[in-house]
Amino acid sequence: MFKVNKIKDLGLSDIKEVYHNLSYDELFEKEQTDPYGSVTSNGTFSVDTGIFTGRSPKDKYFVMSEPSSKNISWGPVNKAVTKEIFDELFSKVKKQLSGKNIYVQDAYCGAAQHNRKSIRVVTEIAWQAHFVKNMFIRPSEDDLKNFEPDFTMYNAGKLSNKDYEKHGLHSDVFIVFNIEENIAIIGGTWYGGEMKKGIFSMMNYWLPLEGKLSMHCSANVGVENEDTALFFGLSGTGKTTLSTDKKRRLIGDDEHGWDDKGIFNFEGGCYAKCIGLDAQSEPEIFGAIKRDALLENVVLDEDGRVDYNDGSKTENTRVSYPIEHIKNHKRSLKAPHPKKIIFLTADAFGVLPPVSRLTKEQAMYYFMSGYTAKVAGTERGITEPVATFSSCFGEAFLPLHPTVYAKLLGEKIDKHNVDVYLVNTGWTGGVYGIGNRMSIKETRACIDAILDGSIENEKFEKTPIFELSIPIKLKGVKTDILNPRNTWKNKSLFDASQKELANMFIKNFKKYITEESDFSGAGPKI
């Protein structure tokens, strides 16, 4: 039970009951008394996250205070609010959470003990506590006896800020971080991913200042050779799907750190997209959806069966589950330094090859560019893929300047002699709406060839304009798709699309050119 003095520490009053660190069974019982979800036919709890079925990146703010203000890269990604506005919003949050039952969930972020942070999340909704329990590392009973949070997040999703115009904010939704006070507050959105990515944003602040790289990537490792691989990419590019491999042990599906000892997962669970999910193409993820998992925004029939092909609520249907639901995960959630890095991109232009081998300079160029397509549903207002550049494949979560992360990655690639590849999980044979999405089967064949080294036995050729090295043939992949131009019926239209995308790359990269660093020569040339 939560101690009385600890409730006062939270700043809440007249609390009816504090449900502190409930077990999965206790959370399941509480969820069924709330009107926000139901139990599916196989015993998984399923919830609706309200009108927000994706993150609200335009509603994220940091308090402008010292010394963090000197470190943060201020701009459209990291917007500032005053301490006075934060205090006013925090008062509203505490009022919202007072006078009722609340859930307090304690967890760790970071599998490496010397890097981990102790996290406390306060909410009034049972399924949100369940989400936190799934996604972060679950402390032992002994750990919880003396648990003290390094950072506390208050989730008052039911609260809307009606004074947002007076405060100069984007909308009535707010996700605000006060680094000096180690507090984050959420209002106006129920979407679970805000809690997950909020803590990720903070890890992206803390670790690089200590010379450790924080990464938006998944990771797995060979069973025998301990050959670690990293998969960078934005939501919808295949990080979870492709790193979940029956032949390899999963370290984690989304967020990792890289220090002098190797790779470590930030989380204790996975957060997979469900749209189009089937047991044949993604058996490990499909099998992980059972009791203790938590489905979001899926469509159920009258008997509680899930229709994974139904995107009528959102294309961003999701499931969170403890990583233990993946049988061949690595229990320590840690691995040696990687030997392979794979950048995943969903190219909506249908121009990039399914697999390319990158030079060190190209690796830096494509990492800083972070090209992909925003996939429907992952953010508010996105209903179909839109070409975008997100530096380091996760600019929305980077409080520091992108070059800080790029420099750390470059140093580690050099030090550990890592091979880097670019894999297109997007479209082939035409742009989005005309061409087809790359099949998971053929993408996995590309990944397998990278990981077992067989791709290096093939002959390579260079593409025009982008100058990417691509294999002429590859086991398990149709030869005609390895060079994307071959898949287009209208070759002149392909050439025009290729030049259009190349110009987008060149224009975007100009902001990263400095006297000390210029990787623009590794990009496309027109």
357 catalytic, yes or no?
no
117 catalytic, yes or no?
no
pLDDT tens column, 15-44? 999 999 999 999 999 999 999 999 999 999
116 catalytic, yes or no?
no
pLDDT tens column, 288-324? 999 999 999 999 999 999 999 999 999 899 999 999 9
For 213-269+332-522, CATH number out of 3.90.79.10, 3.90.228.20, 3.30.499.10, 3.20.20.70 equals 3.90.228.20
> Dihedral of the CA atoms 388, 393, 397, 399 (nearest 10)?
-100
Task: For domain 4-33+58-190, give the CATH number.
Answer: 3.40.449.10
Whether the CB-CB separation of 271 and 317 falls below 8 Å is answered with no
Backbone angles phi, psi at 175, to 5 degrees: -130, 105
pLDDT in the model for residue 379: 59
55 catalytic, yes or no?
yes
d(CA 479, CA 459): 13
Write down the catalytic residue from 49, 53, 240, 487: 240
239 catalytic, yes or no?
yes
Left if phi > 0, otherwise alpha if psi is -120 to 50, otherwise beta: which for 386? beta
pLDDT tens column, 151-177? 999 999 999 999 999 999 999 999 999
Residue 1 confidence (pLDDT) above 60: no
- Tokens 């798709």 belong to which residue? 481
- Protein fold of 270-325: Phosphoenolpyruvate Carboxykinase; domain 2 (2.170.8)
Strand partners, 460: 471
Whether the CB-CB separation of 316 and 376 falls below 8 Å is answered with yes
Q: Average per-residue pLDDT in the chain?
A: 94
* 275 token code pair: 């749209």
Name which of 386, 388, 51, 387 is nearest 191 in CA terms.
51
Residues 6+ apart with CB under 8 A from 362: 420, 422, 468, 522, 523
Name which of 412, 473, 419, 477 is nearest 451 in CA terms.
419
329 catalytic, yes or no?
no
The residue-averaged pLDDT of 467-487 equals 96
d(CA 217, CA 393): 8
Number of helices followed by number of strands (H, E) in the chain: 14, 30
pLDDT in the model for residue 374: 66
- The dihedral through the CA atoms of 405, 410, 411, 416 has a sign that is positive
Residue 495 confidence (pLDDT) above 70: yes
Domain positions in the chain: 4-33+58-190, 213-269+332-522, 270-325
138 catalytic, yes or no?
no
pLDDT tens column, 359-398? 999 999 999 999 987 655 555 666 656 778 999 999 999 9
pLDDT band at residue 6 using 50, 70 and 90 as cut-offs: low
Write down the catalytic residue from 106, 253, 254, 347: 254
pLDDT tens column, 256-298? 999 999 999 999 999 999 999 999 989 999 999 999 999 999 9
pLDDT in the model for residue 182: 98
CB-CB neighbours of 392 under 10 Å: 25
The residue-averaged pLDDT of 436-464 equals 96
pLDDT in the model for residue 4: 46
Write down the catalytic residue from 130, 239, 374, 401: 239
Write down the catalytic residue from 30, 55, 138, 380: 55
Write down the catalytic residue from 20, 79, 133, 197: 197
Write down the catalytic residue from 235, 320, 390, 443: 235
216 catalytic, yes or no?
yes
pLDDT in the model for residue 386: 73
Please state, in angstroms and as integers, the Cα–Cα distance from residue 114 to each residue in 111, 152, 179, 262, following that order. Answer: 9, 19, 20, 13
